[in-house]
Amino acid sequence: MSLPRTTSKTLLTRMGLTMSQPSSTSLQSLSKNRSLQINLQHTQHRTIQAAASTQAIESKTTPPSYQTPSPLPPSSPKTPEVLISALPLVQSLRQNPSQYRESRPHLSMTPSLRPSHFVAGTLAGPEKVSVAPYMFTSIVNNSTPTKGEEEARPRAQVISVFHIGEQMCGHPGYVHGGLLSVMFDEAFARCVSDSFPSGLGMTANLNVDFRKPAIPDRVYVMKAETVKVEGRKAWVEGVMKSMPSDAVAGEKETVVAEARALFVEPKFAESMVPLYRG
């Protein structure tokens, strides 16, 4: 005789008990409780870690962060004008105005002509030829008169001081040699202008010998002198040096180039448009 198959559900029913399936609400509640316990444990762990870190920071050997002095702001870089004025050479020249006449020809140029001028316009600006060059001129009269002349022509010595910025390079980190040639030509023309009645001289020949690479963001000093004058011709020579930077320890004055040139007073000088006022 076989007994009827009794399941656990039937047995519980006979005992007056019921077994119900857990509802979705109960599962969600359990899940939230479990998540809350984990979060509490994690929060307690982080709180303990933070307290330990605070104790380490505010220990006797390490002052708290609010007591640590803040770093000083970086000093602002000196402008090209300030760098030039600080040169001992420039200060010395300015103390002797009777011998050296200070001028800035590009600033005395006729304003309408300045934009089309290569140095005063195209090359002028921040990180280029940063400021209008300073020129200090001294006149000497120790040359012998040439044939047909009653007295010797004046000869000039010019010291030009200028700053070359970062955007005047050929190879990165080195000033383009063509710019150095232009700066020689510009100062030489100013130098020989005192030797010609018209005050104008045009370049017939210019030779530049490059001695050392020229570095951007430096002040440069060029010394030029008219060494010979014959009629409508004048010969001039010069040397260009880079001045040491305060930011580079041990840097010294460096001869970067030397040049010589022949200038000729044009026969049509009187018909040329004057560049400078006064």
CATH number at residue 98: 3.10.129.10
Kindly provide the b/e burial profile for residues 137-147, where b requires at least 16 CB atoms within 10 angstroms of the residue's own CB.
bbeeeebeeee
Distance of CA 66 to the CA centre of its chain: 36
pTM > 0.75: no
- DSSP assignments along 85-147, one per residue: HT-HHHHHHHT-TTT-EEE-GGGSB-TTTGGGSIIIIITBSTTSB-SPPEEEEEEE--SPPPT
- Is residue 232 included in any domain, yes or no? yes
- Is residue 55 included in any domain, yes or no? no
C-alpha pair distances (Å), 214 with each of 8, 180, 272: 99, 9, 35
Q: 188: domain range? A: 80-271
- Is residue 46 included in any domain, yes or no? no
DSSP at 245: P
Q: Both tokens of residue 110?
A: 């006729």
Spatial distance between the Cα atoms of 231 and 212, rounded to a whole number of angstroms: 35
C-alpha pair distances (Å), 125 with each of 120, 165, 166: 9, 9, 11
Spatial distance between the Cα atoms of 150 and 194, rounded to a whole number of angstroms: 17
- Is residue 217 included in any domain, yes or no? yes
* Res 91: pLDDT: 97
* Bridge partners (DSSP) listed for residue 207: 260
Spatial distance between the Cα atoms of 218 and 220, rounded to a whole number of angstroms: 6
Spatial distance between the Cα atoms of 46 and 28, rounded to a whole number of angstroms: 27
Surface-to-core class of residue 102, CB atoms within 10 Å of its CB (0-12 exposed, 13-18 middle, 19+ buried): middle
Spatial distance between the Cα atoms of 7 and 213, rounded to a whole number of angstroms: 101
- Is residue 21 included in any domain, yes or no? no
Residue listed under structure tokens 């063509």: 178
Residue listed under structure tokens 């580079």: 248
In tens digits, what is the pLDDT along the chain, a chain of 278 residues? 444 554 545 444 444 544 445 555 555 554 555 554 545 455 455 544 544 444 544 444 444 443 445 555 555 678 999 999 999 999 999 999 999 999 999 999 999 999 999 999 999 999 999 999 999 999 987 556 656 555 678 999 999 999 999 999 999 999 999 999 999 999 999 999 999 999 999 999 999 999 999 999 999 999 999 999 999 999 999 999 999 998 888 899 999 999 999 999 999 999 998 888 65
Q: Into how many domains does the chain fold?
A: 1
- Is residue 54 included in any domain, yes or no? no
Closest CA to 264 of 221, 206, 222, 223: 206
Residue 260: which H helix or E strand, with range?
Answer: strand 254-264
- Is residue 98 included in any domain, yes or no? yes
Closest CA to 179 of 223, 237, 124: 124
Order of all β-strands in the sheet with 134-140: 101-103, 134-140, 155-164, 218-230, 233-242, 254-264, 202-210
* Res 56: pLDDT: 45
* Res 24: pLDDT: 52
* Res 233: pLDDT: 96
- Is residue 29 included in any domain, yes or no? no
Q: How many CB atoms lie within 10 A of CB 177?
A: 15
* Res 12: pLDDT: 44
Task: Name the amino acid, one letter, at 48.
Answer: I
